């Protein structure tokens, strides 16, 4: 099923006047609008797309697979894996020289984004992500399957399980390359 | 994956206030969700509340009239430029506070 839609790109940091124009203070993106209903948070957005467009669902169908899908969502976001992944950014990233970006991310995360702070925090974040990779590779992905639920194409469970693993990290995971080599790039 | 991506419709890019105007002039996509009477906060339809995420971006609070509440989501009616939109938030991982209660606690 094809869903036709429009998008409006948003600035990487605040202000975002397009969001403000809607009277919304919530600062995270993306937002989804269907008619005059606006949805915040990717988890809710995915659930709504599944619910409102039932002919094109990506979600699991058996109770066991639905549970895996939901557990992955909770694991990725509420257990803090997503947060840990975001703490892996290299302190050499040029954006960190822009005080507006630093201030914006401090507002978003409620933690300091100084280069020293990022470097000091990195070992904990790496340990956490390594443990997460080890968990996936020794359980769901241990048999070399392409997708989490052993399907022939990606499903919602893959999105839930890997949304914290940015594209390059996901590639590294699938080729079993060392995480450290990615982090040194 | 590449084929799926190639076959997918390309989104039309909107600029300026185009998205807001389209949203304001659209009809509501969803029916009333109703208020879950078993929700532990005991809120009623029409309550003035604020809601914000607890994990990140938690300094940014939205205020509005509660029009929907379930185990899965909270829906606020929010006014902007004389128009009403409904903003949906996940029920969990977000804090909902009644604004009158907040005013009283300051006394």
What is the count of structural domains for chain A?
Answer: 2
Mean pLDDT value across chain A: 86
Is residue B8 within 8 angstroms of chain A, CB to CB?
A: yes
Query: What single string gives the DSSP state of each residue in A115-164?
Result: HHHHHHHHHHHHHHHHHHHHHHHHTTTTT--SSTTS-SS--HHHHHHHTT
Q: Nearest-CA neighbor of A15 among A103, A114, A87?
A: A103
**Structural domain contains residue A31:** yes
Co-location of A27 and A106 in the same domain: no
- Residue predicted with more confidence, B76 or B32: B76
Co-location of A34 and A116 in the same domain: no
Co-location of A118 and A146 in the same domain: yes
**Structural domain contains residue A89:** yes
A135: Cβ contacts below 8 Å, ≥ 6 apart: none
Looking at A7, A36, A56, the residue that finishes a domain is: A56
Co-location of A91 and A31 in the same domain: no
- Residue predicted with more confidence, A3 or A52: A52
B69-84 tens-digit pLDDT? 999 999 999 998 899 9
Co-location of A72 and A136 in the same domain: yes
pLDDT at A92 over 80: yes
The ipTM estimated for the assembled molecules is: 0.91
Q: Domains in chain B, start-ordered, CATH in brackets?
A: 31-106 (3.40.30.110)
| Residue B4's pLDDT band (cuts 50, 70, 90) | confident
Is residue B71 within 8 angstroms of chain A, CB to CB?
A: no
**Structural domain contains residue A4:** no
Peptide bond into A52 cis (omega under 30): no
Q: How far is CA B5 from CA A2, A6, A48, B9, in A?
A: 11, 16, 21, 8
CB contact under 8 Å between A154 and B60, yes or no, is no
B80: helix, coil or strand?
strand
Q: How many CB atoms are located within 10 Å of the residue A100 CB? A: 10
Is residue B9 within 8 angstroms of chain A, CB to CB?
A: yes
CB contact under 8 Å between A4 and B52, yes or no, is no
**Structural domain contains residue A10:** no
């Amino acid at each position: 099923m094809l869903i036709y839609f429009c998008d409006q790109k948003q600035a990487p940091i605040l202000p975002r006047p397009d969001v403000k124009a809607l009277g919304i203070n919530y600062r995270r993106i993306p937002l989804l609008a269907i008619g005059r209903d606006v949805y915040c948070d990717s988890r809710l957005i995915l659930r709504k797309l599944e619910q409102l467009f039932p002919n094109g669902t990506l979600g699991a169908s058996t109770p066991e697979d639905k549970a895996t899908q939901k557990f992955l969502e909770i694991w990725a976001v509420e257990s803090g894996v997503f947060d840990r992944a975001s703490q892996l950014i290299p302190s050499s990233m040029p954006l960190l020289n822009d005080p507006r970006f630093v201030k914006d991310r401090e507002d978003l995360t409620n933690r300091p984004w100084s280069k020293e702070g990022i470097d000091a925090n990195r070992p904990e974040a790496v340990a956490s992500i390594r443990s997460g990779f080890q968990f996936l590779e020794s359980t769901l992905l241990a048999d070399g399957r392409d997708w989490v639920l052993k399907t022939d194409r990606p499903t919602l469970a893959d999105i839930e399980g890997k949304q914290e693993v940015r594209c390059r990290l996901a590639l590294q995971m699938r080729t079993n390359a060392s995480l450290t080599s990615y982090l040194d790039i | 994956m590449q084929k799926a991506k190639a076959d997918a419709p390309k989104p039309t890019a909107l600029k300026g206030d185009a998205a807001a105007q389209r949203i304001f002039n659209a009809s509501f996509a969803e029916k009333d969700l109703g208020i879950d009477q078993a929700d532990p906060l005991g809120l009623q339809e029409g309550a003035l509340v604020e809601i914000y995420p607890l994990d990140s971006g938690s300094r940014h609070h939205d205020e509005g009239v509660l029009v929907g509440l379930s185990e899965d989501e909270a829906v606020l009616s929010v006014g902007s430029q004389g128009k009403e939109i409904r903003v949906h938030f996940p029920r969990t991982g977000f804090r909902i506070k009644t604004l009158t209660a907040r005013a009283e606690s300051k006394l």
